[in-house]
């Protein structure tokens, strides 16, 4: 290639594709470098997730302001995008359930936080209302979060990629970024192609959206950056809601009350193992399918491709599943595992210019709710570039 380009985006996951689409509205000469063979050909964060559209209820303004803001904005943007392109998407709503009075008081905190974050329609309900919505869910109280939903991540990723391509963004699959350096006021990107040959491209602006490798990419320019990656693998099981009447779910996301845990990324709240419906697409019509996923259950890993460590047994997924009492370990089959790049001790999205040049913007730690927040993050970065 050996030429100069306007904007280089490193990473062709949902964040990189949303960036390409948003920037292509006002910019030209945009290239997306993706090390995998295709946009959906890798085991990455964009394809290995539950497909939940989060509402934005979990994120504190003081600790995680970007997650709080972009999750709520992205939720609205994705529903509009799905409607425009007729993509598989359901506004299922969510129940966050409390098993007793203590957890019920914790729900009051999240209700208040939902109001602060601007999440519409959230309200607290009791056992009778819970049973009307999901008869097999047993709880003392719950928050009803109507704007939560589910999408098919791969289908959305394909559509964003196609839309960005149609606007002129160029995608370079099987092209791995192996180094970055500053050169005469621009950024030199060293890449390696599938055949092993290497090349260099000079870019006016570089956006690092490399997902699992984003911190590694950032260190190419700033070896002393204080941010560290904490890799977490999440494993999920599944069951079939038609297997027997006691397992029937009408199609809502069902979550336990978040709990505080000590993890490799610090002390924080976790949403816990939850129930997520999936899609069936028949004759072009999208409806809630028979499969319900259970998870994820998280464990720290050392490498971005660590799928060899055995997942927790199905019994471990039932430890806090009292809100769905008839689910048994024998009902569960392994579904999938995925690795996300959280940040060690840093709980928000990290979206900042490189310390040595404003021509490079790093997007680090784009873990959950990164899928939901993606279109809002893209708009924010486009604003930064202006």
In a domain, 119, yes or no: yes
In a domain, 43, yes or no: yes
Give residue for tokens 């994120």: 59
In a domain, 54, yes or no: no
Task: Please answer whether residues 233 and 298 qualify as being in contact, where contact means their C-beta atoms are separated by less than 8 angstroms.
Answer: yes
Query: Measuring CA to CA, which residue among 17, 45, 14 is closest to residue 368?
Result: 45
Q: How far apart are CA 160 and CA 288, in angstroms?
A: 23
Residue where a domain stops, chosen among 312, 327, 343: 343
Residues near 57 by Cβ (< 8 Å), separated by ≥ 6?
96, 110, 113, 114, 117, 119, 122, 143, 145
Give residue for tokens 């072009």: 284
In a domain, 245, yes or no: yes
Tokens of 332: 């569960």
Give residue for tokens 């689409």: 21
Give residue for tokens 């729900």: 107
What is the residue range of 324's domain? 91-149+229-343
CATH number of the domain encompassing residue 185: 3.50.50.60
Task: Please answer whether residues 27 and 21 qualify as being in contact, where contact means their C-beta atoms are separated by less than 8 angstroms.
Answer: no
Same domain, 291 and 212: no
Q: How far apart are CA 165 and CA 17, in angstroms?
A: 9
Residues near 56 by Cβ (< 8 Å), separated by ≥ 6?
67, 68, 71, 72, 75, 114, 117, 118, 119, 369, 372
Same domain, 132 and 206: no
Same domain, 257 and 315: yes
| pLDDT tens by residue, the chain, 386 residues | 557 999 999 999 999 999 999 999 999 999 999 999 878 765 666 667 889 999 999 999 999 999 999 999 999 999 999 999 999 999 999 999 999 999 999 999 999 999 999 999 999 999 999 999 999 999 999 999 999 999 999 999 999 999 999 999 999 999 999 999 998 888 999 999 998 899 999 999 999 999 999 999 999 999 999 999 998 899 999 999 999 999 999 999 999 999 766 655 555 667 889 999 998 877 767 889 999 999 999 888 888 888 778 899 999 999 989 999 999 999 999 999 888 889 988 999 999 999 999 999 999 999 999 999 999 999 999 999 98
In a domain, 67, yes or no: no
CATH number of the domain encompassing residue 308: 3.30.9.10
Query: Measuring CA to CA, which residue among 75, 6, 12 is closest to residue 210?
Result: 12
Same domain, 326 and 239: yes
Tokens of 330: 């024998």
Residue 211 has φ and ψ, to the nearest 5°, of 65, -120
Structural domain total, the chain: 2
In a domain, 142, yes or no: yes
In a domain, 214, yes or no: yes
Same domain, 8 and 114: no
Same domain, 196 and 333: no
Same domain, 333 and 268: yes
Q: Cis bond leading into 96, ω under 30°?
A: no
Q: What is the largest CA-CA distance in the chain?
A: 68
Same domain, 223 and 233: no
Residue where a domain stops, chosen among 326, 343, 360: 343
Residue 243 has φ and ψ, to the nearest 5°, of -65, -40
Q: How far apart are CA 98 and CA 164, in angstroms?
A: 43
In a domain, 58, yes or no: no
Same domain, 159 and 266: no
């Amino acid at each position: 290639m050996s030429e100069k380009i306007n904007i280089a985006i490193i990473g062709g996951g949902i964040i990189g594709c949303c960036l390409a689409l948003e920037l292509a509205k006002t910019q030209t000469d945009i290239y997306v470098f993706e090390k995998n063979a295709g946009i959906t050909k890798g085991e990455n964060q964009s394809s290995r997730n539950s497909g939940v559209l989060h509402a934005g209820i979990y994120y504190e303004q003081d600790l995680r302001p970007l997650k709080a803001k972009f999750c709520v904005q992205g939720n609205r943007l994705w529903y509009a995008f799905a409607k425009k392109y007729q993509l598989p998407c359901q506004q299922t709503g969510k129940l966050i359930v409390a098993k007793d009075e203590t957890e019920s008081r914790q729900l009051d905190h999240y209700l208040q936080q939902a109001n602060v974050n601007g999440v519409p329609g959230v309200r607290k309900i009791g056992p009778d209302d819970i049973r009307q919505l999901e008869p097999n869910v047993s709880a003392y109280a719950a928050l009803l979060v109507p704007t939560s939903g589910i999408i098919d991540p791969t289908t959305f990723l394909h559509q964003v990629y196609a839309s960005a391509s149609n606007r002129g963004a160029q995608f370079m699959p099987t092209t791995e970024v192996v180094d970055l350096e500053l050169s005469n006021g621009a950024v030199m990107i060293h890449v390696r192609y599938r055949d092993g040959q290497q090349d260099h491209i000079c870019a006016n602006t570089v956006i690092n959206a490399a997902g699992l490798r984003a911190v590694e990419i950032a260190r190419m320019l700033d070896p002393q950056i204080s941010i560290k990656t904490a890799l977490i693998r999440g494993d999920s099981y599944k069951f079939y809601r038609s297997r027997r009447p006691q397992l029937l779910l009408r199609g809502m996301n069902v979550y336990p009350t978040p709990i505080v845990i000590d993890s490799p990324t610090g002390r924080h709240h976790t949403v816990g193992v939850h129930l997520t419906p999936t899609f069936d697409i028949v004759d072009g019509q999208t409806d809630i399918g028979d499969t319900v996923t259970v998870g994820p259950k998280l464990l720290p890993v050392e490498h971005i491709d660590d799928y060899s460590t055995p997942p927790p047994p199905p019994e471990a997924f039932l430890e806090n599943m009292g809100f769905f009492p008839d689910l048994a370990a024998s009902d569960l089959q392994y579904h999938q595992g995925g690795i996300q790049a959280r940040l060690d001790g840093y709980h928000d999205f990290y979206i900042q210019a490189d310390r040595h040049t404003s021509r490079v913007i790093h997007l680090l730690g784009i873990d959950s709710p990164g899928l939901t927040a993606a279109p809002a993050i893209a708009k924010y970065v486009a604003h930064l570039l202006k």
